[in-house]
Structure 1
Amino acid sequence: MPRTHSHLPLSTSGEYSKTGKTKRPLQIPSRPRTPLPITVISALCVLIGVAGISLFLLAVLRPRPAPVFRCGRIQDTFRAFYSLSSAWRLGGGDSGVGNATGMERRKLLGFVGIQTGFSSADRREALRSTWLPSEPEGLLRLEQATGLAFRFVIGRSKDAKKMAELEKEIEKFQDFMIIDVEEEYFKLPYKTLAFFKAAFELFEADYFVKADDDIYLRPDRLATLLAKERTHKLSYIGCMKKGPVITDPKLKWYEKSGHLIGNEYFLHAYGPIYVLSAEVVASLAIARNNSLRMFSNEDVTIGSWMLAMNVDHEDNRAICDPRCTPTSIAVWDIPKCSGLCNPVTRMKELHNTSMCSKSPTLPPDDR
């Protein structure tokens, strides 16, 4: 009989051996299952990577806050602005430059703290458009030329909106020193003490000047005054005055502690501007909180401390001149106002007067 060929069905379940007599299963390798812990860890790594990239992009693209030089809660925005800048070293070396961790005190002839508040942005604008440079580079050049550093001094506020507006101004001008005290008009004696303590922490100056933001000042002439030789190291320089103690609560200059003083105030400097030597400020800097008596009026309060410290009272009328003269250092409307009566307008009017802004500074012997 002829040999017949059987048709074998195709099968995916196995294959024939070479002899054709035995059949063994087809081995299809299966994909190994990934252990659950490895899967979880891989997912976490991916998420961490995505988060890291997102944070990097956010840090690069978002607006950067103004840098600050910090000493505790004291901030010097100007020093931070130049701490990493070559421009700071124009004066020769970078000694005295602080940073977020450093505590070096910059050496100066004098430090001028211009006391200001949250509602005084227009006054600060008037100063920056007249006798005070409006750019950090200008402030630096002024410091190098006179030995005087200038900052607007302001406390803090619980009002987030006020602080946000201040941050914008800081970022633009970099000319603030923020001190750790609540900014409030009726707490000016406390702010003044906090200012002197903060300034002493940050600067190794021969003199510390408290000035208000409503006076017209000649920095070059102030530097000449401070450079004058003095035999007494404990110096208190200002326009000295006395006057009746106001005991009527309805009047502006009411002194609630008037019964401790009597009918007339002791000799003290007018508040818009006065100067303390480094030795005097050093004593204030180490004073314990609440160890110094506070009166209602800031200038009276300082005057009382000066009496206790046996300082030399140097009366100088050039820093309270009611008009610009060849010798005037600070001009304001004494005795009508404690400062310029209409500071924003008057500041610019004075600056446009040649006698105020362009008259030469006389040699020390001629003052």
Structure 2
Amino acid sequence: MPLFSHRHPSSSAIPTTINPKTSKPSKPNFIPPSTRYPLPLLVFSLISLLIGLSGTIFAISAIRRPKPVPVFRCGRSEDTFRAFYSGSGRTRGDDNGALIDRPKLLGFVGIQTGFESGDRRAALRSTWFPSDPDGLLRLEQATGLAFRYVIGRSKDAKKMAQLEKEVDKYRDFMLIDVEEEYLKLPYKTLAFFKAAFKLFEADYYIKADDDIYLRPDRLATLLAKERTHSLTYIGCMKKGPVITDPKMKWYEKSGHLIGNEYFLHAYGPMYVLSAEVVASLASARNNSFQFENVQQ
């Protein structure tokens, strides 16, 4: 018997390899999305784009826009001299050349004038009052005093046009918000002190007429002296009889309340008030003065 039996395994023991046919996978039914967007989304996107463009244009225009020229006003009252220097770009202010909103002064002098006083202003400009803005600035720097012609407004368009030409030429006016009329001089005086106090930080405020010859250096020396009282008045004083006759020019309707004689009051073509006195006037109502040159 042979040691080894060479038997072939049965065909049933041989594993059969099945090679199934590889079938292609079926393609899914794919529907491409629609390229049309909803109308509300389009409208929102368009509005957002317009807002963005508008903001960009505004920012660019704001950067390139020139700075507005400051106008130095107190209500409708205006200092044309400082407005001129702010618009011209010249140095007039602190050490850095910046304009000061309320410059510090030894004194502010308001020359009271009117529409019919052009010849008087011309006479002053040909003598002691500077005739150009640079000269006015040099005088202020030398003495510590600022000078302006003080004038109200008129309903006459021709008068206002003439005044505007003079303002453009000399730039030495303070325009105050009061009607320029002789019978309203007390209200003009009060309006002047109010505007001057808010536009200038001065130790003294001076009211002067436009028919005087002034020495600014002597006035500065007088004001620079030390005084023991902060409530100061420098000028003439007077008192006189109360006119009770209706036929006379200075008839006083309230004469029976005043008496036979006016009380002692400020008077004259020029007088000086300290800052503390003017501060109290600046807080007063417009009807605090009833008569010219009478301080209550």
**TM-score, normalised with respect to structure 2:** 0.72
The answer to whether the Cα contact below 8 Å between 1:67 and 1:81 also exists between their aligned partners in 2 is: no
Whole-Å separation in 2 of the counterparts to 1:213 and 1:79: 21
Aligned equivalents of 2:70, 2:164: Cα separation in 1 = 10
Residue 72 of structure 2 corresponds to which residue in structure 1? 69
Q: Deviations over 1:280-338 (max 9, x none)?
A: 11111112343x2x33x3112x2xx2xxxxxxxxxxxxxxxxxxxxxxxxxxxxxxxxx
1:134 to 118, 123, 131: 131
**Offset, 1:138:** 0.8
2:268 to 257, 266, 271: 271
**How far apart are residue 93 of structure 1 and its match?**
3.7
User: Secondary structure of 1:191's partner?
Assistant: helix
Contact persistence 1:237–1:269 (CA under 8 A):
no
Q: Deviations over 1:100-134 (max 9, x none)?
A: xxxx2111000001111111111111111111011
Evaluate the alpha carbon distance shift between residue 246 and residue 216 of structure 1 in structure 2; reply closer, same or farther with a 3 A threshold: farther
- Aligned positions of 1:286-305 closer than 5 A: 286-290=283-287, 292=288, 294-295=289-290, 297-300=291-294, 302=295, 305=296
Q: CA deviation at 1:264?
A: 1.8
Match of 1:106 in 2: 103
C-alpha displacement of 1:80: 1.1
Tell me the percent identity.
Answer: 79
- Unaligned segments of structure 1, at least 5 residues: 1-65, 99-103, 306-367
- In structure 2, the residue matched to 1:237 is 234
The amino acid across from 2:128 in the alignment is W
Correspondent of 2:90 among 83, 86, 103: 86
Q: Deviations over 1:52-98 (max 9, x none)?
A: xxxxxxxxxxxxxx995333311111011112433425x73445x35
Which SS does the other structure have where 1:264 is aligned? coil
Structure 2 residues without counterparts, runs of 5 or longer: 1-68
1:191-239 deviation digits (Å, cap 9, x = unpaired): 1111110101100000000111011111111111111111110111111
Higher relative contact order (CA 8 A, sep 6+): 2
Amino acid in the other structure paired with 1:85: G
Q: How many residues align?
A: 227
Contact 1:156 1:182 in 2 (8 A): yes
CA distance in 2, matches of 1:94, 1:259: 57
Q: 2:119 aligns with which of 98, 102, 122?
A: 122
TM-score of the aligned structures, taking structure 1 as reference length: 0.58
Give the secondary structure class of the aligned counterpart of 2:234. Answer: strand
* Residue 188 of structure 2 corresponds to residue 191 of structure 1: yes
**C-alpha distance in structure 2 between counterparts of 1:67 and 1:214, whole Å:** 32
Match runs of 1:1-367 below 5 Å: 68-83=71-86, 84-89=88-93, 92-94=95-97, 97=99, 104-290=101-287, 292=288, 294-295=289-290, 297-300=291-294, 302=295, 305=296
Structure 2 counterpart of 1:165, which letter? Q
2:23 maps to: none
Distance 1:246 1:283 in 2: 29
Residue deviations 1:230-250, cap 9 Å, x none? Answer: 111011111122222233344
Residues 67, 77 of structure 1: 8 Å contact kept: no
Contact 2:187 2:286 in 1 (8 A): no
SS of alignment partner, residue 299 of structure 1? coil
Larger radius of gyration: 2
RMSD: 2.0
Aligned with 1:164: secondary structure? helix
Distance 1:259 1:126 in 2: 43
Residue 77 of structure 1 contacts residue 175 of structure 1 at CA under 8 Å; is this kept in 2? yes
CA distance in 2, matches of 1:299, 1:137: 33
Structure 1: distance between partners of 2:136 and 2:161? 24
Q: Does the aligned pair in 1 maintain the 2:91–2:97 contact within 8 Å?
A: no
